[in-house]
Amino acid sequence: MGGTVVLVHGAHHGGWCWRRVARLLRDTGHEVFTPTLTGLGERAHLLTPEVGLATMTRDVTALLEAEELTDVLLVGHSFGALPVLGAADRAPDRVRRIVLLDGLVVAAGRRGFDALPDDVVVQRELDARRRGHGIAIPPPPPEAFGVTDPEDATWLARHLTAQPLRSYREPLALDGPLGAGLPVTYVYCSAPPYPVIASSHQVVKDMGWEWRDLPTGHDAMVTDPEGTVAALLA
């Protein structure tokens, strides 16, 4: 009998991106939750200038509390690592282990933008002003996430939504240590690597967290769902 798994998506995505992984986990007896963060996916209509990292941290924390979940395997992909770390800080007694799937990681008090190269930050701010009404970053093409299969790329392109700009501008607010004293595993998607989040790797190493390699692209839940499940459960 499997346990409880909460899968939190990254920037521009939604709970929909976990479809294949969630099916595999449920087939092995796990209870699986795939929340969509405020302002994204089917909740894109809730986008406002106030939607930021604090909002998304509340999204994840509220799920843990409303569903009365305990002993949770809490997974954050890419940007989703930040609300996962925030939620673990607020409800550590509900979490058994954290897995960051090619996650964007910053120290407490730092912003998501602090982890990105300067030129990437400038471009995203510019795109938000020009094409996102000053409050959201338009989605990049699927290839940016390592998705090159034509059918998968078309599927992604239909679903990707703009990312609330404030989510990258707002600092990660924690009361305790990064990771909340819980076991944390970082899964590095290495083929091809996603260089935008390279600075996160030093934070992971400084924290002494477990490191695993998964030879697939950044959107591993799409490009290699079987390998992703194996990495999450190992």
**Residue 78 annotated to the active site:** yes
Whose CA is closest to 12, among 86, 104, 97? 104
Measured CA to CA, the distance from residue 174 to residue 102 in angstroms comes to 21
Is residue 112 within 8 Å of 197, Cβ to Cβ?
no
Q: Which residue of the set 78, 167, 190, 200 is catalytic?
A: 78
Concatenated DSSP letters of 166-193? HHHHSB---SS-TTTTS-EEEEEE-SS-
How much of the chain is helix, strand and coil, in % rounded to 5?
Answer: 45, 15, 35
Measured CA to CA, the distance from residue 209 to residue 155 in angstroms comes to 34
Active site residues per annotation = 78
